Amino acid sequence: MSTRPERGLIILLAAMSMIGPFAIDTFFPAFPVMAKELSASPFQMQQTLSLYLVAYAVMSLLYGGLSDALGRRPVILASFAVFTLASIGCSLSRSIDELLFFRVIQGLSAGAGVIVGRAIVRDRFEGTMAQRVMSGISMIFGIAPAIAPIIGGYLLYFGWRSSFVFLVLFSVCLLLVCWRALPETHAPEKRTPLRPRPLLNGYWEMLTDPRFVLISFAGGFNFSAIFLYISSAPAFVLEILRFNERQFAAFFVPTIGGMVLGSFISGRIAGRVPRRLAIYCAYGIMLFAGALNIAYTQSAEMVTWPLAVIPIGMIACATAIAFPLLTLAMMELFPARLGTASSLQMFLSLVVNAAVAGLMAPMVQHDAKMLALGATALSMAGLGLFVMARKVVPQTV
């Protein structure tokens, strides 16, 4: 077991996890242009996100088990190859139905980087070091959602298809680097056979463990408060803030900056602040920021930047502080099935985010007041689930 984080590996794992955010955020500035060219309704355009997330969630159930049985490297390499082909399909789509089909394929292939990456962290590191490494990866990973819409805004000069061409190039680069540099961290003697019955039994064991389910959903609801704004970004930036297609940074930089700061704080307090205290402090910040957001949006006749995004950045910061702590607490429940645990946790979180993107966001995305209320309600749900986990199983966290 290494006692010092391997910086090259951390950077590579962070880059691998960037595939998902890039696939979500890069083409946001092109939403109006795409809708016009493909004759798509606003609801259909929103499904380019929600169907992607549903596919991402479904496949996330398999990635952990596949990596536990076959090793980490083969799963990563195969997923990036499929993602590359799906991105080519998106770039060549001539109708909204074609685009949605290839977005589903993207979703099926995009999750390996982050899911298997978490298992690699736990293969290599333990305890406080694992928390620091996870936080370091989260810091680097946080750059992706901030720069993706900025890149997409400028790529719009070359047409909306250029956003997907960018994804093709990015995934090809990752595929080549992983082929050359990604180590196999799951030794053959530690692998578990990929048989449906044991896999389903493993999922059932985790789903019937109240600690696992409550902690997983707590983390999912925490992030969904931010994801409500991310999935509503085209309406929030273009309509509510009244910015243009190349000004998405006004929203994404403060928001993702908050996540990066929170990840940095989480890494710095590892081993110094008790995990439970750190989580409760993070929830305190979330709820304070939510109350601030509601007060501002309810009192202002017209919301303006930067006041409209400061509370969002605060929520993002607190979410990032809590996320590594909750993830490690969840994975420590099943140390022999790290990949499977990571998969199921990702699935449960994505179910929440897909529902937020596909059902909640279309109802509230055009109204700053409703967005603030919705985000705060989601943060409160996360806190409620964590408190429930503590009451049902007092030794949790």
Cα torsion 179, 183, 187, 191: sign = negative
Please state the pTM of the whole predicted model.
0.75
Overall average pLDDT of the 329-355 stretch: 78
Which region holds residue 242: left if phi is over 0, alpha if psi is between -120 and 50, else beta?
A: left
- Token pair for residue 82? 């499929």
Class for the domain spanning 7-182+195-392? mainly alpha
Peptide bond connecting 196 to the previous residue in cis, omega within 30 degrees of 0? no
Overall average pLDDT of the 223-229 stretch: 91
pLDDT class of 393 with cuts at 50, 70, 90: low
Q: What is the dihedral of CA 368, 238, 380, 397, to 10 degrees?
A: -160
- Token pair for residue 169? 């190039």
Percent of the chain with pLDDT over 90: 36
Residue 342 has pLDDT above 80, yes or no: no
Nearest residue to 119 (alpha-carbon basis) of 71, 188, 175: 71
199 with 65: CB under 8 angstroms?
A: yes
Residue 65 has pLDDT above 70, yes or no: yes
Quote the pLDDT of residue 245.
82
Residue 169 has pLDDT above 60, yes or no: yes
How high does pLDDT run on average in the chain? Answer: 86
Quote the pLDDT of residue 395.
55
pLDDT class of 351 with cuts at 50, 70, 90: confident
pLDDT class of 3 with cuts at 50, 70, 90: very low
Q: Count other C-beta atoms under 10 Å from residue 322's C-beta.
A: 27
Q: How do the residues of the chain divide into helix, strand and coil, expressed in percent and rounded to 5? A: 80, 0, 20
Residue 1 has pLDDT above 70, yes or no: no
Alpha-carbon distance 265 to 277, whole Å? 14
160 with 30: CB under 8 angstroms?
A: yes
Residue 256 has pLDDT above 90, yes or no: no
Overall average pLDDT of the 245-274 stretch: 84
How many residues are given for the chain?
Answer: 397
Alpha-carbon distance 182 to 32, whole Å? 39
128 with 271: CB under 8 angstroms?
A: yes
Residue 150 has pLDDT above 90, yes or no: no
Q: Where are the domains of the chain?
A: 7-182+195-392
Quote the pLDDT of residue 93.
94
Calculate the alpha carbon distances from 193 to 68, 257, 288 in Å.
8, 41, 47
Alpha-carbon distance 64 to 71, whole Å? 10
The most confident of the ranges 181-195, 322-336, 357-371 is: 357-371
